[in-house]
Amino acid sequence: MSNQNDEALKPTREQFIYANLLIIGVWAGIAILFITYAIYLFGLLPPHVKISVIPSVWAKGVNEFLEITHSPHGWGWVSLLTKGDFLNYIGFVLLALMTILCYLVLVRGYIRQKNWIFATIAILEIVVLSLAASGIFGGGGH
C-alpha cells in the first residue's frame, strides 16, 4: 500500500459523516460567538453582570461569585438570554451539544449496519453526556 489515493487509507463513511456534521457546528458556533460577543462588548444588550465588576469578583470562590453577581446555575441562564453576557451561552451550549447530535446520527447508522457493539457504545455515551448536560450532577467548581 503506497498510493496516497488507496481506498484502504480513506476514512470510513461514518467518520466522514461525523466530520461533516461537526464542521457545520464548528463554523456556526464561531459565527454565533462572534455576534453575541460583539453584542455584549458594545452593550447592545445590557449585561446581567457589569463588565467592570467581573475582575473584582472572579478571584472569589464560586458560591460567593454567584451570590454577589446574582448569577444562575443549572439551566437558569435561559431566563437571562436577553442579557448581553448570558446571550453568549447560546454559542457555549451549541458547542457542548455538538457531540450529542453527532452521536445520534452515529447510532442510526450503526443500527442500520446491525453493529450492535458500537450502537450500544454510542447510546451509552449519549446517556452519559445527556446526564451531564441535565444538571443533576450539580457542579465541580473549585
Partner 1 sequence: MFLWSVAGVGLMVALAGALAAGPGLLRRNLANLRLALPVALVASTCSILGALLGLYLSSLNPNIIQACLGITIVGIALLLLFSKNTEKPVVTNQDAIGLALGLRGAYWDDGARESVEWKTHRTALGLCLFILVGLLAGMFGLGAGWANVPVLNLLMGVPLKVSVATSKFLLSITDTSAAWIYMNRGCVIPLIGVPSIVGLMLGSLIGVKILAIAKPKIIRYMVIIVLLFAGLKAMDKGFGLGLLG
Q: Rule CB under 8 A: which of 44-63 touch partner 1?
A: 51, 54, 58-62
Q: Does 28 bind partner 1 (CB under 8 A)?
A: no
Instruction: Tell me how far, at minimum, the Cβ of 42 lies from partner 1, in Å.
Output: 13
Instruction: Tell me how far, at minimum, the Cβ of 127 lies from partner 1, in Å.
Output: 10
CA distance 106 to 109: 5
Q: Does 12 bind partner 1 (CB under 8 A)?
A: yes
Q: Does 74 bind partner 1 (CB under 8 A)?
A: yes
| Residue 80, CA distances (Å) to 8, 38, 52, 105, 118 in order | 50, 17, 19, 31, 39
Instruction: Tell me how far, at minimum, the Cβ of 7 lies from partner 1, in Å.
Output: 10
Instruction: Tell me how far, at minimum, the Cβ of 15 lies from partner 1, in Å.
Output: 5
Q: Does 135 bind partner 1 (CB under 8 A)?
A: yes
Is residue 103 within 8 A of residue 129, CB to CB? The reply is yes
Residues 6+ apart with CB under 8 A from 69: 48, 49, 53, 57
**In this structure, what DSSP letter does residue 76 have?**
G
Q: Does 80 bind partner 1 (CB under 8 A)?
A: no
Position among 9, 42, 56, 114 found at the interface with partner 1 (CB under 8 A): 9
Which residue reads 450532577 in cell numbers?
Answer: 137
